[in-house]
Amino acid sequence: MKVIHSQGTCGGVEACIELAPDYFHIDEDGMTQVSRPDVADEDVERVAEAVNECPTAALRLQKV
């Protein structure tokens, strides 16, 4: 699975970083970025929770 982030719709709420700090971070400009787009099988459930908790629907999971 891959996690895709849409910068345009991200509201900077940081729920994704709280749930999966190993997959998301804030860059030097204060913008949320994906640290690791390829989601390990054992992390899919946790990253899916981050996707579902994103209040602006800026994240999605894509099968690869």
Closer by beta carbon to ligand SF4, 1 or else 13: 13
Closer by beta carbon to ligand SF4, 7 or else 42: 7
What residues make contact with ligand SF4 under the rule CB under 6 A? 5, 10-16, 32, 54-56, 58-59
Residue 41's φ and ψ, nearest 5 degrees, are -50, -40
Q: How far is the CB of 55 from ligand SF4 (least distance, A)?
A: 6
DSSP output for 2-61: EEEE-TTT-----HHHHH-TTTEEE-TTS-EEES--BPPGGGHHHHHHHHHH-TT--EEE
Q: How far is the CB of 22 from ligand SF4 (least distance, A)?
A: 14
